[in-house]
Amino acid sequence: MIDLRLVREDTDLVRASQAARGEDPSTVDTLVTAADRRRESVGRADSLRAEQKVLGKRVSTAGPEERLALLVQARDLAVAVKAAQAEESAADVALQEAHLAVPNVVEHDVPAGGEDDYVVLKEVGDKPTFEGFTPRDHVEIGQLLGAIDTDRGSKVSGARFYFLTGQGALLQLALLNMAVAQAVETGFTPVITPSLVRPEVMGGTGYLGAHAAEIYRLEIDDLYLVGTSEVPLAGMHMAEIIDLSAGPRRYAGWSSCYRREAGSYGKDTQGIIRVHQFDKVEMFSYCDPAEARDEHKRLLAWEEQMLAKVELPYRVIDTAAGDLGSSAARKYDCEAWIPTQGRYRELTSTSNCTTFQARRLNIRFRDADGRPQFAATLNGTLATTRWLVAILENHQQPDGSVLVPVALRPFLGGREVLQPL
RNA sequence: GGAGGCUUCGCCUAGUCCGGUCUAUGGCGCCGCACUGCUAAUGCGGUUGGGGUUCGCGCCCCUCCCGGGUUCAAAUCCCGGAGCCUCCGCCA
């Protein structure tokens, strides 16, 4: 939910944001109209109610003869109040609807356009050359190592499911543990989150809008499976006034993540690039909105720190407005080089949601004057199952073995190489 | 699956039987002032949140889990719902 004051005072800015996203700017005008209508109906209902209260007081103190006449008057007024109230709540509903239809206002310097209009901010590291052999893809390496079993994954659960076995399971645990270790060193509170959340939490984070088809829903229990621990971590402080006087509150969530991958038929059907269930360590930060842009840069830096530890070549992109989620004002992705695909694939994603989620979830903090204000929320990836793809492919050797990045070795019991079975 | 209880202004709490000075009590916390040569103790005062209106002081409305209803008038009465807790049963 965006700030209505901003909509009223700088309508053009919000319209421009919609245009940058490639969405209809007229939703903004609808919102302005709805806000005006609500304001007017509130005013009318308020003054009628004030009148009613005064009259009600007179009824309670009046003598018997006077009382009867006053009651007649009061009855008429009650009808008028009821009508005004009905209009008020109708206007409220309309405003709410118009409000929810407008995604977050993008930062002013976000590149406009769609999926392909990102801006590359930097490229880091050297792509591997593979002298004298043709690199295997992660599916083949996973088989050689006995690390990934997609056949049995689909036997048991269907397409886009997999087993991580032996070295694969250990490698993932090592990676995620390294992510948690880094987060804790940095001052994050590690959290193992619920994977099922209530509708208001899923809705509050902005995931039930245009991309609701991505979400698994358990209808019998009216719960949703989370696609990222961002969701429970955002819900954690809903309807609270949190203390940010000591700076941002940072959590590192560990969870399995579930995604329906609706509409992605035919994309990445092999291996574990795009799957229905994976594991992730995610950073989440609550902070003063004034600090959100800086915090966003910090989250990006911590992501890059992780990528450096696993010694992967990657680039950082500034995602275009049209490719942002509805909650995000800006998003940076880190994409690792995948040798057998000859292209970069997203490994991390960090979004600044400013106060958009906090407004929906009613998460506030007290500012320097002690006034409650909406907090900003941000999130960013530290590690996911998909990272295994990049690690296996980039660090593979001619004999099918895989070199373990130095920083990761302590988390694998000191192991330096993953050997084919 | 069954039974019972609870939900009030950051937290705790009075009030609900019997509708109107509930314009919601008190404590904790927090803020300000006073006093004391310190951080303490004490006293006094302030402190729910949201919205409307106003240059501003202010004024008004809403807010006692949510939604309906009764009534001139609802924290209070009636109906429906949600959440939380406890116990029993069952299963791990």
pLDDT tens sequence across A267-285 = 888 899 999 999 999 999 9
Superfamily of domain A4-100: Serine-tRNA synthetase, tRNA binding domain (1.10.287.40)
Task: Print burial letters for A52-64: b (CB count within 10 Å at least 16), e (below 16).
Answer: eeeeeeeeeeeee
Name the phi and psi angles at A364, rounded to 5: -130, 170
Question: How far does Cα A241 stand from its chain's mean position?
Answer: 21
- CA A44 / C1′ B20 distance in Å: 24
Domain limits, CATH 3.30.930.10, in chain A: 119-418
Task: Return the bridge partners of A334, or none.
Answer: A316, A348
Give the SS3 label for residue A255. strand
DSSP A90-115: HHHHHHHHHHHTSPPPPPTTSPPSST
Q: Give the pLDDT of residue A314.
A: 98
Q: Which helix (H) or strand (E) holds A78?
A: helix A64-100
Nearest by Cα to A352 from A116, A108, A8:
A108
Instruction: With cut-offs at 50, 70 and 90, classify the pLDDT of residue A153.
Output: very high
Tens digit of each residue's pLDDT (9 = 90 or more) over A91-141: 888 888 888 889 999 999 999 999 999 999 999 999 999 989 999 999 999
* Calpha distance A123→A142 (Å, rounded): 27
Interatomic CA distance for residues A150 and A161, integer angstroms: 7
Provide the 3-class DSSP secondary structure of residue A317. Answer: strand
Whether domain A119-418 has CATH 3.40.50.150: the reply is: no
Classify burial at A166, counting beta carbons within 10 Å of its beta carbon; exposed 0-12, middle 13-18, buried 19 or more: middle
- Of the pLDDT bands very low, low, confident and very high (cuts 50, 70, 90), residue A239 is confident
Nucleotide with the nearest C1' to A222 CA: B82
Interatomic CA–C1' length for residue A337 and nucleotide B22, angstroms: 67
Could you tell me the two tokens for A409?
């070795």
Task: State pLDDT tens for residues A288-343.
Answer: 999 999 999 999 999 999 999 999 999 999 999 999 999 999 999 999 999 999 99
Q: Strand, helix or coil at A352?
A: strand
Instruction: Tell me the nt nearest to A70, Cα to C1'.
Output: B72
Strand B: list protein residues with Cβ under 7 Å.
Answer: A 39, 42-43, 45-47, 49-50, 52-53, 55-57, 59-60, 71, 74-75, 77-78, 81, 89, 222, 241, 364, 370-372
CA A331 to C1' B5, in angstroms, rounded, equals 48
Mean pLDDT taken over chain A: 92
Q: Measured between alpha carbons, how far is A17 from A237 in angstroms, rounded to an integer?
A: 28
Give the confidence band of A200 by pLDDT, cuts at 50, 70, 90. Answer: confident
pLDDT (average), residues A358-377: 86
- Which is catalytic among the residues A17, A255, A327, A349? A349
Smallest CA–C1' separation from A74, nucleotide = B72
Residue A373 CA, nucleotide B40 C1', distance (Å):
34
Tokens of A421: 């079975």
**Strand B positions with any atom < 7 Å from protein CB?**
10, 20, 30, 49-53, 60-62, 68, 72-73, 83
pLDDT score of A65 more than 80: no
A274 is catalytic: yes
Amino acid at A370: G
ipTM value for the complex: 0.81
Q: In chain A, which segments carry CATH 1.10.287.40?
A: 4-100
Amino acid symbol at A14: V
DSSP state of A396: B
| Å from the A369 CA to the B35 C1' | 27
